[in-house]
A and B are shown apart, each in its own frame.
Chain A
Amino acid sequence: MPVYVDISRCIGCRSCEVACKRVHGGKGHVNVHMAGDHASVPIFCHHCEEATCTMACYTGALYKDAERTAFDVEKCTGCGLCQLACPFGVVWSDKIAHKCDLCAGRENPACLVSCPANALSTDFELASRRARARAAMAVARGR
């Protein structure tokens, strides 16, 4: 259950980047990409159901638990295979790996609380509803 982005709400302020970096001791896991002249979207870990990073990890440091693709830093050797095994480029390895852990230990992910535009949510129903409403609007308006 990853953090979902409502792209129509993203304002490219990069607060999620800075917040993630801050709560993770300087190693952040979010990158905001600019699209076109004035749109933007942060790319988060998808916490894939079939997580390729966990398949490449040979020590069991990366594994699936109920809600997320979790990371046990004690088991990591920093080999770098996970970084190459993520199709979205959101696992990093530099002496040790790091990736989004949905801010285990916090009530809510820091990026979600910090987003000034309220664009982030872990509520799939909400994200899905918003996306479909937008799609319906686009179809109706012939875009």
Chain B
Amino acid sequence: MPQVLVPTVCPYCGAGCQFFISVEKERATGIEYMPEHPASEGSLCSKGNAALEILYHPDRLHHPLKRKGDGWARISWNDALELTARGLGGALKRFGPECVGFLSSSKCTNEENYLIEKMARCLGSRNIDNCARLCHSPSVVGLNRTLGAAGMTNPISDIANSKCIFIIGSNLAENHAVLSRWIHRARDSGAVVIVADPRMTHTAWMADIFLQLKPGTDVALLCGMAHVIVKEGLVDSEYIGKWTRGYERLVESVLDYTPEKVSEITGIPAGDIVRAARAYAISPASSILYSMGITQHSTGTDNVQAIANLALICGQLGRQGTGVMPLRGQNNVQGACDMGALAEFYPGYRRADDPETAKFFSCAWGVDLPVGRGLTATEMVDAAARGKIRAMYIVGEDPANSDPSSSYTRDALEGLDFLVVQDIFMTATAQMADLVLPASAWAEKEGSYTSTERRVQWSCKAIEPPGEARSDLEIVCALANSLGLEFNYPDAASVLSEINQLVPQYGGIVRERLNGAGLVWPCPNPDHPGTPILHTQGFKLQDGRAAIVPVQYRPAAEEASWEYPFILTTGRVAVHHNAGSMTRRSPSLIEREPELFVEINTQDAVKLRIADGDEVRVTSPRGGTTARARLTGRVKRGVVFMPFHFPGTNMLTTEATDPEAKIPEFKVSACKISRRD
């Protein structure tokens, strides 16, 4: 039997690596690397290498399930769709569309995300969102406002052309591993690497200057750097004059952020702040790479805007080797946002509160759409807790583990009248559902995914889904139709055709052009080659200028106190991915990081009489959990770190959110630690 190699896009992070799945006798038997891939050059991180381990896992959902007492009863698809239609349709009728919430999945294809948000809005609900809310919503808000577009401004491979790479709030060595090769290449030709992180990570290993700041003080650091750059005349006046608005107000706003003052706030030596600022400004091509350490704060939007400001005043945009690079976590969170599965945006980032948007889509979709934004993912949980949201339809998302303050979130979801969860595994969220619908994994369906460098790639179907599982596209269409809509989409390509008509950035991203390395948006028409580097000719904002938005440092919402003396910051490890529903079920990965741990500074641990490997209890105002202690010098005294791949970490995190982007402040919570005995 011949072996077939099927190209697919990796289901894990946003780097968008591709690999071949070798299929023999309709089974996925192995992985072959793809050396021609422009971002990965064939390499794969540990998660990508282990990707096949989830496909045939015994926990895979095979059949639609209906809650029966404390357990489940298997039902047919017809029954499942009827019940879902009745439950959601009933809630829509009885309580109104404002009382129903939809969560789309950043692991689903662009086509599926488009259909889910279209379905929600055609049914009259504005409450559609996806997990970008928990990770890069400040980037979506902040970068759209300052630069006119939210996505990595330069390609991943272009990092090799940078002469000063400033990595802040990102542990890309572990979480976007393939970017490391480009950074190393840049270093080979003399680039300087600056890393800012409260924790000495593997990414910090690459640093020439390491800024170990206190969690939640990024705005202070960035304003401090801007202060130095302005004071020493290192700004790019020509660029500022030609391409930006608002510089004078920035100068005023950073006057007080002297290196000494910033050093007090952040804990970074003043000299290091000055050196980092100078290096970034003087280098002929500098780029800023950032991720959750910047966004997951109650000041997340400010953090992002501060980054954009730095790039703008130094003219480090629109050229090779420059850029502002949000590193997006999920394989298709960029696409989910592009497709408008967001409370405040329609496909293509048209604002939901703009009457023109409502008119445009009402015309395109043949329904009357309301004007105004809906509830975000975090607000939906709140609303559910208060009884304002009565029913939810959740696809490929596990809020019971990924939202902060797990007890609160779980109570809120338990209280819903009707909850439908569509997923590949029985996650903690699915456990609370009334109906569970079995869906396909990435290898079992086809569609397009958009990576963090705005690269849209087509992933092909390699094998059939197990049991009665179906692709999310099929399920959503069937559901929409049983709710009275007319979703006639025979395949993913037909949905993409519709997307081509309605999303200007995707205008030329047609199916026939998507083989191989895909296309980078904006790609407005079928002859357009795509746009690897953004902002080469100015910005898509009024009068073509970027907006410099001054920001002021505000401390994080929660501070260490006498009762809770440690600051807990959360993050990831190389072998796991997000809430862990896939990686914790992969033998090669779970054996390498089997359990929840807490990194404690060795001196702090000694004072608490905690030894390496002890079981400890970590408690915050929201709740507590048990973890394995790891004594280390990676975190400074007073700071502890826990990975969020295991249920338990989010029992502790705060519900405080960024006022605009509504992202929870996962990165700063107060906690206390004690020995389990």
Contact = CB atoms under 8 A, between A and B. Distances in A.
Chain A directly contacts chain B within the complex, with at least one CB pair under 8 Å: yes
Interface of A: 9, 11-15, 17-19, 21-23, 37-40, 110, 113-119
Nearest to A9: B184
A11 B174 contact: yes
B671 to A, nearest CB: 22
A40 B177 CA distance: 14
Contacts of A114: 33, 42-44, 49
Contacts of B42: 113-114
Contacts of B206: 11
A118 B187 CA distance: 13
Nearest to A112: B43
Interface string B197-216: 00011111110000000000
Contacts of B452: none
B177 A22 contact: no
Contacts of A38: 200-202, 204-205, 634
A65 to B, nearest CB: 26
A13 B49 CA distance: 11
B83 interface: no
Contacts of B592: 14, 17-18
Contacts of B46: 13-15, 17-18
Nearest to B182: A118
A117 B592 CA distance: 19
A132 to B, nearest CB: 14
B589 A18 contact: yes
Interface residues of B, number: 38
Given A11-B177, A12-B174, A19-B49, A117 B575 contact: no
Contact of B177 (A13, A39, A110): A13
Contact of A116 (B44, B204, B588, B633): B44
Given A15-B49, A18-B588, A114-B43, 17 more contacts: A11-B174, A11-B205, A12-B202, A13-B45, A13-B177, A13-B202, A13-B575, A15-B48, A37-B634, A38-B201, A38-B205, A110-B33, A116-B43, A116-B181, A117-B184, A118-B43, A119-B184
A141 B50 CA distance: 41
B633 A117 contact: no
B603 interface: no
B173 interface: yes
B180 interface: yes
Given A37-B634, A117-B180, A118-B43, A12 B173 contact: yes
Contact of B49 (A9, A18, A39): A18
Given A38-B201, A117-B184, A18 B50 contact: yes
Interface string B30-53: 110101000011111110111000
Contact of B181 (A23, A40, A118): A118
A37 B33 contact: no
A40 B206 CA distance: 12
Contacts of B43: 15, 113-116, 118
B5 interface: no
Contacts of A18: 46, 49-50, 575, 588-589, 592
A12 B574 contact: yes
B427 to A, nearest CB: 23
B356 to A, nearest CB: 44
A59 B200 CA distance: 49
A8 to B, nearest CB: 8
Contacts of B35: 113
Of the candidates B30, B31, B173, the one having the most CB atoms from chain A within 10 angstroms of its own CB is B173
A140 B171 CA distance: 29
Nearest to B15: A116
Contacts of B253: none
Interface string B128-141: 00000000000000
Contact of B574 (A14, A19, A115): A14
Most buried by A among B35, B43, B173, B206: B43
A115 B173 CA distance: 12
Nearest to A119: B184
Contacts of B362: none
Contacts of A9: 180-181, 184
B377 interface: no
A37 B633 contact: yes
Contact of B45 (A21, A22, A37, A116): A116
Interface in B1-49: 30-31, 33, 35, 40-46, 48-49
15 contacts: A9-B184, A12-B173, A12-B202, A15-B43, A19-B44, A19-B49, A21-B588, A38-B202, A38-B205, A110-B33, A114-B33, A114-B49, A115-B43, A116-B45, A117-B177
B629 interface: no
Contacts of A37: 200, 632-634
A13 B204 CA distance: 14
B178 interface: yes
B634 A22 contact: no
Given A11-B180, A11-B203, A117-B181, A22 B33 contact: no
A13 B33 contact: no
A12 B634 CA distance: 15
Nearest to A40: B202
A18 B42 CA distance: 15
Contacts of B33: 110, 113-114
A35 B33 CA distance: 29
A22 B632 contact: no
B205 to A, nearest CB: 5
A11 B49 contact: no
Contacts of A117: 173, 177, 180-181, 184
B40 A116 contact: yes
A47 B536 CA distance: 51
Contacts of A119: 184
A13 B574 contact: yes
Which of A9, A18, A19, A110 has most B Cβ within 10 Å? A18
A13 to B, nearest CB: 4
A119 B180 CA distance: 10
Nearest to A120: B43
Interface string B602-639: 00000000000000000000000000000011100000
A20 to B, nearest CB: 9
A11 B41 CA distance: 17
Contacts of B588: 18, 21-22
A18 B31 CA distance: 12
Nearest to B592: A14
A125 to B, nearest CB: 15
